[in-house]
Amino acid sequence: MTRTADSGIPVLTGPSDSGTPVFASPADIGTYGPYGPGRVAEGAEGWQRPRYPFRGRITADGSSGYRAEPGRYHLWAAWSCGWAQRVAIVRKLKGLEEVVTLSYVDDERDGRGWAFRERRGPDPVRGFRLLLEAYEATEPGYPGHISTPVLWDRRTGRIVSNHSGDITTDLCTAFDAWAAPGADLRPEPLRSEIDELNEYLYENVNDGVYRVDGAFTQAGYESSRQRVCQVLEALDARLADRRYLLGDVVREPDVRLWPTLARFDLAYNPVAGICRGGLRAFPHLWAYARDLYRLPAFRDTSDFGAYRMSPPPERADGVRHIDVDPADLDWR
């Protein structure tokens, strides 16, 4: 079915829009077990981020097989998920809210993975109860990670991508025909610098915090935690004389970095034990993070209530992590 958004762009919607919304039953670890076993890679040497198998790309001319078109694509995100927030921020910075639709899964998970429940709303596309259904519709018997973000193609009824970096980049560039004027997050002359910085941030900060948590030797923990702290220091120095990472204008790397900073003191630092003092120990970085938070694209895609995480009571690997208390920072 089709309805028309405020902009006049036709938006394809799914069965749950036409009838009673459907929801998954409450998360129930007693019945379904915790999410993870059988799906999350374990036992590899060091922290290994799982492979994300759906890597389709959207292009303005459709040469990749997926043409940028209004109303064709949908994003599923989780409020807690920094990878999903990067996609949501770019969508809003580019003014694509009515071009690429977005909805949220519930915050709680059991062995069935991400689900649609009353708190965050139904799935508006197909009336799925579980995000797994989108993966199953794409690849029956799919055994891998049920992760967010997910980019879904209404036309083919398949997942295009579950890789946030690719989705972010494509939203930055492929939908310019419908984007807000002037919102250039990846200007042509800066692309190689942007890609290099994105990679540096991924390796050292965004994925870096997970590597600290996942280290299973004392030496691995110490070196990965020091690396994150040193890079935060380097970013702090970089931001001493400029407003954003690449100067006076928000660019893609700012979007890549920010969700990790937003979750640092409530989740990554207390869980993994990374830097004493947290984000406020890096004054320029902290001021930069608050400055970005004033922008609606960052603020409206944030829900700090969903970020808080506690460290595991005991680590099976015996690695001793420094104790860091969670801190609820004042972002105003």
Which C-beta is closer to ligand GSH: that of 70 or that of 259?
Answer: 259
Which C-beta is closer to ligand GSH: that of 152 or that of 282?
Answer: 152
Which C-beta is closer to ligand GSH: that of 127 or that of 259?
Answer: 259
Residue 284, classified by CB atoms within 10 Å of its CB into exposed (0-12), middle (13-18) or buried (19+), is middle
Q: At what angle do helices 164-173 and 82-93 cross, to 10 degrees?
A: 0
Pairing of strands 158-161, 150-153: antiparallel
Q: Is 172 a catalytic residue?
A: no
Shortest distance, CB of residue 76 to ligand GSH, whole angstroms? 10
What residues make contact with ligand GSH under the rule CB under 6 A? Answer: 39-40, 50, 52, 78, 81, 83, 145-149, 162-165
Shortest distance, CB of residue 146 to ligand GSH, whole angstroms? 6
CA angle 214, 298, 148 (to 5 degrees): 45
Is residue 229 within 8 A of residue 275, CB to CB? The reply is yes
- Catalytic residue among 73, 81, 135, 275, which? 81
Shortest distance, CB of residue 283 to ligand GSH, whole angstroms? 28
Which C-beta is closer to ligand GSH: that of 105 or that of 289?
Answer: 105
Shortest distance, CB of residue 2 to ligand GSH, whole angstroms? 30
Residue 187: half-sphere exposure toward Cβ, Cα within 13 Å: 10
Shortest distance, CB of residue 95 to ligand GSH, whole angstroms? 23
Q: What is the dihedral of CA 76, 62, 158, 94, to 10 degrees?
A: 10
Q: Is 81 a catalytic residue?
A: yes
Give the separation between CA 301 and CA 238, rounded to whole angstroms.
Answer: 26
Which C-beta is closer to ligand GSH: that of 71 or that of 253?
Answer: 253
Which C-beta is closer to ligand GSH: that of 161 or that of 224?
Answer: 161
Tracing tokens 């209404």 back to the chain, one arrives at: 154
Give the separation between CA 267 and CA 85, rounded to whole angstroms.
Answer: 15
Is residue 185 within 8 A of residue 171, CB to CB? The reply is no
Give the separation between CA 194 and CA 186, rounded to whole angstroms.
Answer: 7
Q: What is the dihedral of CA 27, 28, 34, 35, to 10 degrees?
A: -30
Shortest distance, CB of residue 286 to ligand GSH, whole angstroms? 23
* Strand, coil or helix: 36: coil
- Catalytic residue among 32, 210, 244, 293, which? 210
Catalytic residues: 81, 210
